[in-house]
Amino acid sequence: MKITPLAIPEVLLITPARHGDERGWFSETFRQSALEEAGFQAAFVQDNHVRSTTRGIQRGLHYQKPPHAQDKLLRCVVGSIFDVAVDIRKGSPTFGHWVGAELSAENRQQLLVPKGFAHGYVTLSDACEVLYKVTDYYAPQAEGGVRWSDPAIGIEWPIPLNEITANDRDNAAPLLAEIETPFAY
């Protein structure tokens, strides 16, 4: 398993090894000890599975507030997505900055998004399925969001904005400047 910090080093890109033969392949997609060696100490408590039916579906930017904040480990097992983490930690030198990576069934890469980051993605192909682990249970009272198209963040989505479909909640999420971030650096 190869673990690479991105431009915001708390966000990790993980590439599991794949071992194949004439029967197919085997890949270890999660190993707690490997994450611990990379400095990630939390334990995952819930797995989620999301299916999107068409290219250009936007999900996020979401986060959960303390005491239900979540770290997320995401992978795309069908199709491909452009996955993004935005630093929303007050006082962080990278506050408001984003990092992103293409995750696909082909490249097998995963993104570890820590607490203190808003997370979202756009589908790059039809029929996408995303699996992700979280370190706290879903708590609707702790939900937070930042508008995915906030020009102050300036995410460079690989699909034109007019071809992206988001739900009403994500389109109406507050801008980064409008949230009171519960996270400190």
Active site residues: 62, 132
Q: How many Å from the N-terminal Cα to the C-terminal Cα in the chain?
A: 28
* Cα angle 137, 141, 142; round to 5: 65
- Listed in sequence order, the residues at least 6 apart from 35 whose beta carbon sits closer than 8 Å to its beta carbon are 3, 112
Q: Is the sign of the CA dihedral 170, 173, 177, 179 positive or negative?
A: negative
